[in-house]
Each structure stands twice: as C-alpha cells, then as structure tokens.
Structure 1
Amino acid sequence: MNDAHLDGYDVVRPVVIDSSKRMLLLIPYGPDEENCWTLPTVSMRSGETCRRAATRHLRKAAHLPALRISPLIGWLSRGDAPQGVQYVLVVRSAAESWPLSVRFALAPEACWWTTAELRSADALVEPAELLDFMDGYWEGWLPDGEISLE
C-alpha cells in the first residue's frame, strides 16, 4: 500500500517484520511484478518524523495493531527526488506476533520473505540495500540510530 502523494522530499519505507521467523513483509513492484519486491513508501508531512509517519500510515491507513519501531534507521537518497531522503525503519508487532490479516492489510499481494529466500530466488529488491540492512539488523551488528545505506 503506497501513499498516492509522494511529492514531498522525504519519505519513509517501513519494514514490517516477524522477528521470530526473521521474515519481512514485501509488496510486489515493477511493470510485471514478477520477482520484484519493495517496501511501502509513505510521504512525510512537514515537521513529521519518520517514526511518526510510519506509525500514522501503518496504524491508520493499513489498520495494523500496536507496533514497535526499532531505534535503527537507515537513510539513502531518493532517485526520483534528488533533494529528498528515504528513511528505512524496522517495525514489529507490539504483541508476540502479527495477526494473519497483516499481509492483506499492507497489500493483498504482499508476501513474507527471509533475506536468504530473496537471495536464492534472485529476486530484485528495492531499495537494493535492504537485504544487507536486514541481515545486519538480524545479526545485531548495526548500531541504534541513523546510518547511511549508500
């Protein structure tokens, strides 16, 4: 589920995860939507933090239950808006697990993946830095706070 208005300079890309299975929820993208996966893209309002924008979108637009946002935030330039930044942040359920409906709430075509499955399927992932970012998150070698993914 993507916001229709991405005309602002900054966006947030929430990574919805299932921690116990080390899986992330991705949506198909591209002209043929075959073996190409991405994250939702959410416009940030003026003065809004990336955490607040992700919460607003996932709680209100996608109707997801209570969530927790990791202190780790990755950022990289936006290819479609050179002055803008895209923030990548990790979101997990505040409960032990997401309800089964979470996949459909994000997007009807959304799919759970591990980074290993994406690599072995030679899937295209956007942003391309996502797999290394998530592997670093799972292994605990990325610091809390903001880091550049470029």
Structure 2
Amino acid sequence: MPDADPCAPDVVRPVVIDSPKRLFLLSPCALEREFRWTLPTFPMRLGETSRRAAARHLRRVAHLPALRISPLIGRLPRKDVPGGVQYVVVVRPATGSWPTSVNPSLSPGAQWWTTAELRSARAPVDPVQLLDFMDGYWDGWLPDGEIPLD
C-alpha cells in the first residue's frame, strides 16, 4: 500500500465503512511517538478530486468491488507538507457488504471498529477528529459537502 507522496500537496484518506456502523482502520502505526489506529493515505494527482482519488486507489490498487463515496468530505491541513490538505472521505460498498478480502487488500493487520469500541478502549486514532466526524455522519448532523475538521 503506497504511503502519501511527500511531494504531493494533497492526499485522500478514505474511511471504509460497513452496514453495522463499523469503520476499517489500519493497524497501529507510530505517529508523533505514539501508536494510533489510522486511515489509509493516498496521494492525489494535480486537479483530481478527493472522491476520484479515493475511488482510483481503492478500485485499482486495493481491488475493492464497486463502491459508493459519500458527498460528505472532511478537510484537514497536512502537518508534514506546508499548504497541503488531507481529505477524509466515507466509502461504503455499492451493494451488500464488503468481501472478506477487504482486510488483506488494505492491510493485513487492519481491524473493523465502531466508534463506541474505539472510545471505550481509549484507542488513539489519526486523525484525532475521526470519531466525531463519523458519529456526525452516522447520526446525520453533518451536511453534505466539504467541511473543515481542524
């Protein structure tokens, strides 16, 4: 799985979800000297939308079946690239549920979590705004479109 290109100013971070309100997080990685559950990160091409970049990577790189991307998009500044942006997009299967092969496609150590499980376990996540963002998505109190998460 490719990491973000440090030369690409913008990246997309898809939140892969399923019907029981679970999100798929990659196994803990060391960020800022602590381990956090994180989202995949993919570089965006110049002029490419976050939704298109997510679809391109998830379909072509991870070989996921047909997917739907929510019109809700979170926007955060990148800490590692001045002026860079990271976009958080919500992705679900177009029909039914994801195949069991979604785990190895994205990361062998990844896990499905609910936001309640993450909060209960006090599991650190990256970005830190992810749990509130997802609760807002599932509860329907976030409007469609791009919203700042910082």
Please give the range of the TM-score, normalised by the shorter of the 2 chains: over 0.9
Answer whether contact 1:35 1:123 (CA < 8 A) is retained. no
Pair 139,96 (structure 1): closer, same or farther in 2 beyond 3 Å: same
Alignment of 1:31-46 (within 5 A): 31=30, 36-46=36-46
Q: Which structure 1 residue ranges, 4+ long, deviate > 4 Å from structure 2? A: none
Deviation at 1:110, TM superposition (A): 0.8
Code of the residue aligned with 1:116 in structure 2: it is: A
Deviation at 1:117, TM superposition (A): 0.3
Q: Secondary structure at the match of 2:116?
A: helix
Alignment of 1:55-134 (within 5 A): 55-134=55-134
- Give the match for residue 27 of structure 1: 26
Q: 2-side partners of 1:89 and 1:134: how far apart?
A: 10
TM-score by length of 2: 0.93
Q: 1-side partners of 2:73 and 2:39: how far apart?
A: 14
Q: Please tell me whether residue 145 in structure 1 is matched to residue 137 in structure 2.
A: no
Q: 2-side partners of 1:42 and 1:136: how far apart?
A: 24
Question: Alpha-carbon deviations, 1:55-101, whole Å to 9, x = none?
Answer: 11000000000000000000010111121000001000011110111
TM-score by length of 1: 0.93
Q: 2-side partners of 1:101 and 1:35: how far apart?
A: 25
Deviation at 1:36, TM superposition (A): 2.1
CA RMSD of aligned residues (A): 1.6
Pair 28,68 (structure 1): closer, same or farther in 2 beyond 3 Å: same
- Give the match for residue 54 of structure 2: 54
Q: 2-side partners of 1:145 and 1:83: how far apart?
A: 21
Deviation at 1:4, TM superposition (A): 5.5
Q: Secondary structure at the match of 1:29?
A: strand
Q: 2-side partners of 1:23 and 1:6: how far apart?
A: 30
Question: How many residue pairs end up in the alignment?
Answer: 148
Q: Identity rate of aligned residues, in percent?
A: 67
